[in-house]
Amino acid sequence: MKDILVMKDIIKKFGKQHTEVTALKGLNFHVQEGEFVSIIGPSGSGKSTFLTIAGGLQSPTSGEIIINQVNFSQLTEKQRGKLRFKEIGFILQSSNLIPFLTVKEQFYLVDKVTGKAKEKERIDELLASLDILDLQDKFPRDLSGGERQRVAIGRALFNDPSLILADEPTASLDTDHAYEVVKLLVKEAHEKKKATVMVTHDERMIQWSDRIFRMEDGNLIEQNAPSRETAQV
């Protein structure tokens, strides 16, 4: 399997001189296609900084980021925007659905932005795979928290990105819906060969991970992933 995201010697500093803080300290990380990786750690440990840099939303102070074999660090801002849209799907703790659009209209909007109209069958296939086909004419206000996150996952997958970055995707959900969303992300990663990175503070959600890292003081420390036999189903 090939590496989809590679981060080499990533350092991120904020502030200057006596106020300078180093959020990431020479971090090295990679994730392969079809792999589900969890990043855990307390608030303020650098998880969010890590994810925004991995997704190209902010630049490191030094180091290289390679996304699907393209060196992101060497691109212009315009090229970075195009690469982000093509290669990365973002899932946030709030689903960020547009309130006045139905579920299917959320996907048609992506079509308009890309300028690449996809067949209705392609949309229906994706909705069916996420078990939300019967929700396509509903508005976000009519959906449960778990259903909204399913739609958000579908929207992230819709442009067929190679990398999925999920920032606390279960934070606003109850336990049952949270488990449901994480297992769905794992399923999509494995079956559709998506490199997936989930940042979370909830260690109950990492049991299906292929690899687990703990963020501590700007460093990533790999931990043993649970066996498939011990993971809850």
pLDDT tens track for 17-45: 888 989 999 999 999 999 999 999 887 78
Task: Please check whether residue 26 lies inside any domain of the structure.
Answer: yes
pLDDT at position 69 is 94
Task: Please check whether residue 230 lies inside any domain of the structure.
Answer: no
Task: Please check whether residue 82 lies inside any domain of the structure.
Answer: yes
- Give, to the nearest 10 degrees, the angle between helix 145-158 and helix 175-191: 20
Which residue positions in the chain have pLDDT lower than 50?
230, 233
pLDDT at position 71 is 94
Radius of gyration of the chain (CA): 18
Task: Please check whether residue 178 lies inside any domain of the structure.
Answer: yes
Closest CA to 37 of 211, 228, 195, 214: 211
CATH of the domain at 206: 3.40.50.300
Count the domains in the chain: 1
Tokens coding 34: 């079809």
pLDDT at position 51 is 92
pLDDT at position 116 is 55
Separation CA 169–CA 212 (nearest Å): 16
Tokens coding 130: 């996420």
Residue 112: domain span? 3-223
Alpha helices in the chain (DSSP H): 47-54, 77-87, 103-114, 120-129, 145-158, 175-191
Separation CA 170–CA 202 (nearest Å): 9
Greatest CA span in the chain, whole angstroms?
Answer: 58
Task: Please check whether residue 228 lies inside any domain of the structure.
Answer: no
CA distances from 27 to 22, 41, 50, 140, 168 (A): 11, 15, 9, 38, 21
pLDDT at position 6 is 97
pLDDT tens track for 194-207: 999 999 988 999 99
Task: Please check whether residue 43 lies inside any domain of the structure.
Answer: yes
pLDDT at position 37 is 97
